[in-house]
């Protein structure tokens, strides 16, 4: 039984800055994801604050929002079987130092804050996050 899902992926400013966009997109393609929609945008700090609202109470919230709005990002609507979980697996742990071999964060991440990619963490949040960037 297939379980086709959609999830949000973001290629973060540190990766765009280092020109890793095509390499990271090919990781998704190699791993069976279809990129249904994508756009390169530069969001404001206010938009980043809205997007990361769940982290409002965290000590790193302000830096996180400054960072996500510090340069262009690529937002993508990804589709495959179990896309939410499979994308989290492909990304690896939040901290690239402990991310598993072969994961995007292990390969390309610089640090816990500059970890190259975002991915939705649940089906419910995927819907909310996709709506945030791709309201039709």
Contact residues: Mg ion, CB under 5 A: 121
For the CB of residue 1, give the shortest distance to ligand IDP in the complex, in Å: 27
45-78: burial string, b at 16+ Cβ within 10 Å, e else: eebbbebbeeeeeeeebeebbebbbbeebbbbbb
Q: Smaller CB distance to Mg ion: residue 1 or 24?
A: 24
For binding to ligand IDP (CB under 6 A), which residues are involved? 55, 60, 64, 94, 112-113, 115, 118, 121
Return the residue nearest ligand IDP (CB atom).
94
118 among known catalytic residues: yes
64 binds, among ligand IDP, Mg ion, none (CB under 5 to 8 A by kind): ligand IDP
For the CB of residue 77, give the shortest distance to Mg ion in the complex, in Å: 17
The rounded distance, in Å, linking the Cα atoms of 87 and 106 is 14
């Amino acid at each position: 039984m297939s379980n086709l899902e959609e999830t949000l992926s973001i290629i973060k400013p540190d990766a765009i800055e280092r020109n890793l966009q095509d390499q990271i997109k090919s990781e998704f393609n190699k791993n069976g994801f279809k990129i249904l929609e994508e756009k390169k945008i530069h969001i404001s700090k206010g938009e980043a604050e809205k997007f990361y609202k769940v982290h409002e109470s965290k000590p790193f919230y302000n830096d996180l929002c400054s960072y996500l709005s510090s340069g262009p990002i690529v937002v993508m609507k990804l589709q495959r079987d179990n896309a939410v979980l499979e994308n989290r697996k492909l990304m690896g742990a939040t901290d690239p130092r402990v991310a598993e071999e072969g994961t995007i964060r292990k390969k390309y991440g610089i640090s816990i804050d500059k970890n190259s990619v975002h991915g939705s963490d649940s089906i419910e949040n995927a819907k909310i996050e996709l709506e945030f960037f791709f309201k039709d």
